[in-house]
Structure 1
Amino acid sequence: MALTFIGIDPNTDYDHCPAVWVDTESKSDPHLVVQGWLADEATRAECSQNSPKPDTEAVIRIPARMAPLIREACDVAERAAAELR
């Protein structure tokens, strides 16, 4: 696997740093890889009302200020997907 690092929370203290990568070498379409804070029990319970979470998934939180990084990661993933076609 080769991850393309997109960036970390611009307000990070480098000890608690939500981050975003793109895996452009996945066997199917590219994937976003996101590091964030684990959501609390109340948040996980509310999320499960719309989308039950299997043991292989996690509900995380990332700050909205990371939206530009998520957009950039989506652009990278879309370009990589286009190259696969």
Structure 2
Amino acid sequence: MALRFVGIDPGTGGGNCPAVWVDTDVEPEPELVLQGWLADEATQVECLKNSPKPSTEAVIRIPARMVPLIREACDVAERAQL
């Protein structure tokens, strides 16, 4: 596994907070790996209306202030495909 750490939520104190990585070692293409807050029951129920969730998935929350980190992770993933 080749996880490249991109960053953590800049609005928190550093530990135990949302974070973003890119796994460049998976086929057929790189994947984003996100750590976030587990969504509350009401949010999960609302999400299930559009997309059933198997036991191997989770609904998480990521603060909008992490958008630059997620964009960077997307760029890393795209470059890894070249």
Given residue 19 of structure 1, which amino acid in structure 2 is its aligned partner?
A: A
Partner of 1:66: 66
Matched residue type, 2:7: G
- The runs of 5 or more residues in structure 2 that have no matched partner are none
> Post-superposition shift, 1:29?
0.4
2:73 matches 1:50: no
Shift of 1:12: 1.3
Partner amino acid for 2:33?
V
Q: In structure 1, give the amino acid aligned to 2:69.
A: L
Q: Partners in 2 of 1:55 and 1:16 — Cα distance?
A: 23
Give the alignment's TM-score, normalised by structure 1: 0.92
In structure 1, what residue type is equivalent to 2:31?
Answer: H
TM-score by length of 2: 0.96
Q: Deviating runs (4+, > 4 A) in structure 1?
A: none
- Compute the RMSD of aligned alpha carbons: 0.8
Aligned pair count?
A: 82
Q: Among the aligned pairs, what percent are the same residue? A: 73
